[in-house]
């Protein structure tokens, strides 16, 4: 299925998930003038975190008056809430960066909070729920000291008690050993739209277990670029490494059972992130070096997966020579899931169907589910606090 074959509702969701060009204005207006199922549109934009970009594009082309009044109010309320929420997170990010600078550690900013500042057109247009960063494991002590020094606690938030339960030393060590990140750092705030601020410190861009790839974090940190955020010095991965990180992140979450069973595997905003990042920094990307680095890490399949789908969703962007250099001979893997298991499975649905239809999880292979549930049971017994949505019958 091509995006042109989608319903008007889903074409609208896709085309407004990124910043639109003037050449698309007429098509946008044409769709808005059609008879639309707004229940499906709003649901899809909420679950795919694109409501803010939709509203931004409508305001950009002065088409807000095409909306029914209550939908306009919903969009405006969402805009105001995330404007305040994200601004508060930005303030916390500057405090975190100051603390890291005082401890002389390089901890680059990743994903949503970086992209909201440097790529997305307005702070309100990118939803994120934590501050993602990456460090070398050698820096775990100063990083922990820096965050604890400004009030963060490694632990779990108890919803009922509305308090943070500090993690035990065993829990911290287990989290570090079996995952790509440290135990979460959390802090309760008095902001009504950001009551809990969480910092996720990654130490790997891939996943643990039988992951066949390796990207040394030390190399990423060594190439990191200095940036300024709200007047404070920080760091981001270099232009190529950010593409690698975003691609590894998206591929991992799109194909591992942990994310598939939780319906967090295919989210449009993750594809929008990569597409808009590449479009923003296109002229700063050394495409020959990108291919060389990707092949050096043996990440051809991972990155091509991303490039293939962002072009399917949003249109051509990647130089043809790059696609040709990275394209694997066998493209069957583009429809695989459960890749952490010995035998991955193939989706019964095409990409766009599984992107938009939540009942896709009802067709998951039984062997993938049983393996996943065994893993969750083992993890729950080991730390006693792990919570995850499971599928039973």
Extents of the domains making up the chain: 105-237, 238-393
| pLDDT computed for residue 386 by the predictor | 47
| pLDDT computed for residue 363 by the predictor | 87
Give the separation between CA 353 and CA 94, rounded to whole angstroms: 40
In this structure, are strands 345-346 and 336-337 parallel, antiparallel, or unpaired? Answer: antiparallel
Mean per-residue pLDDT, 24-43 = 98
pLDDT tens string 188-224: 999 999 999 999 999 999 998 889 999 999 999 999 9
User: For residue 81, which of 4, 166, 175, 192 has the smallest C-alpha distance?
Assistant: 192
In this structure, are strands 196-202 and 131-134 parallel, antiparallel, or unpaired? Answer: parallel
The confidence band for 390, taking pLDDT boundaries of 50, 70 and 90, is very low
- Please state, in angstroms and as integers, the Cα–Cα distance from residue 172 to each residue in 155, 181, 260, 327, following that order: 8, 10, 25, 39
pLDDT tens string 104-163: 999 999 999 999 999 999 999 999 999 999 999 999 999 999 999 999 999 999 999 999
Which range, 166-175, 254-263, 285-294, 363-372, has the best average confidence (pLDDT)? Answer: 285-294
User: For residue 183, which of 209, 162, 202 has the smallest C-alpha distance?
Assistant: 202
| pLDDT computed for residue 392 by the predictor | 43
The confidence band for 328, taking pLDDT boundaries of 50, 70 and 90, is very high
Whether 393 shows a pLDDT value over 70: the answer reads no
The confidence band for 99, taking pLDDT boundaries of 50, 70 and 90, is very high
Indicate the range of 40-49, 66-75, 176-185, 277-286 predicted with least confidence.
Answer: 176-185
Give the separation between CA 60 and CA 28, rounded to whole angstroms: 12
Looking at the DSSP bridge assignments, the partners of residue 383 are none
Whether 375 shows a pLDDT value over 60: the answer reads no
Give the separation between CA 254 and CA 259, rounded to whole angstroms: 7
Which fold is adopted by the domain 105-237?
Beta Polymerase; domain 2 (3.30.460)
Is the distance from CB of 108 to CB of 224 less than 8 angstroms?
Answer: yes
| pLDDT computed for residue 389 by the predictor | 44
Is the distance from CB of 224 to CB of 213 less than 8 angstroms?
Answer: no
∠283-289-294 over CA atoms, to 5°?
115
User: 0.85 cut: is pTM over it?
Assistant: yes
SS3 per residue for 78-116: HHHHHHHHHHHHHHHHHHHHHHHHHCCCCCCECHHHHHH
| pLDDT computed for residue 189 by the predictor | 96
| pLDDT computed for residue 370 by the predictor | 72
User: For residue 89, which of 147, 49, 143, 128 has the smallest C-alpha distance?
Assistant: 128
Percent of the chain at pLDDT exceeding 90: 90
Give the separation between CA 80 and CA 366, rounded to whole angstroms: 44
Name the token pair of 392. 């039973």
Give the separation between CA 123 and CA 233, rounded to whole angstroms: 19
Whether 275 shows a pLDDT value over 90: the answer reads yes
| pLDDT computed for residue 378 by the predictor | 52
Q: Is 217 exposed, middle or buried (0-12, 13-18, 19+ CB in 10 A)?
A: buried
Question: For the chain, how far is it from start to end, CA to CA, in angstroms?
Answer: 29
Q: What 3-state DSSP class applies to 257? A: helix
Q: How many CB atoms lie within 10 A of CB 26?
A: 10
Q: What 3-state DSSP class applies to 258? A: helix
Tracing tokens 């709200």 back to the chain, one arrives at 230
């Amino acid at each position: 299925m091509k995006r042109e074959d989608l319903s008007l509702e889903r074409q609208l969701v896709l085309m407004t998930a990124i910043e639109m060009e003037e050449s698309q204005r007429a098509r946008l207006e044409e769709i808005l003038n059609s008879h639309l199922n707004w229940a499906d549109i709003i649901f899809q934009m909420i679950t795919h975190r694109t409501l803010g970009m939709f509203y931004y594009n409508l305001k950009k082309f002065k088409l807000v008056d095409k909306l029914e009044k209550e939908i306009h109010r919903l969009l405006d309320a969402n805009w105001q809430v995330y404007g305040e929420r994200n601004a508060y997170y930005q303030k916390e990010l500057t405090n975190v960066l100051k603390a890291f600078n005082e401890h002389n550690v390089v901890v680059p900013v990743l994903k949503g909070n970086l992209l909201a500042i440097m790529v997305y057109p307005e702070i309100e247009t990118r939803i994120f729920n934590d501050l993602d960063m990456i460090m070398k494991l050698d820096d775990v002590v100063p990083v922990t000291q820096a965050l604890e020094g400004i009030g963060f606690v490694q632990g779990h938030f108890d919803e009922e008690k509305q308090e943070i339960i500090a993690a035990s030393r065993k829990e911290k060590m287990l989290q570090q050993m079996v995952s790509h990140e440290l135990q979460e750092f959390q802090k309760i705030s008095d902001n009504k739209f950001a009551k809990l601020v969480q910092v996720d410190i990654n130490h790997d861009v891939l996943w643990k277990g039988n992951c066949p790839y390796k990207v040394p974090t030390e190399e990423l940190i060594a190439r990191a670029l200095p940036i300024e955020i709200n007047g404070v010095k920080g760091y981001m991965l270099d232009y190529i490494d950010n593409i690698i990180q975003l691609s590894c992140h998206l591929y991992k979450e799109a194909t591992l059972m942990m994310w598939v069973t939780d319906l967090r595997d295919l989210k449009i905003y993750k594809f929008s992130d990569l597409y808009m990042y590449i479009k923003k920094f296109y002229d700063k990307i050394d495409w020959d070096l990108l291919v060389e680095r990707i092949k050096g890490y043996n990440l051809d399949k991972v990155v091509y997966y991303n490039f293939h789908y962002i072009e399917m969703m949003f249109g051509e962007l990647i130089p043809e020579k790059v696609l040709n250099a990275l394209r694997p001979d066998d493209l069957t893997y583009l429809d695989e899931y459960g890749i952490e298991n010995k035998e991955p499975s193939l989706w019964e649905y095409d990409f766009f169907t599984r992107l938009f239809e939540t009942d896709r999880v009802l067709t998951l292979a039984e062997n993938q589910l049983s393996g996943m549930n065994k893993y969750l049971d083992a993890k729950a017994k080991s730390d006693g606090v792990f919570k995850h949505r499971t599928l039973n019958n």
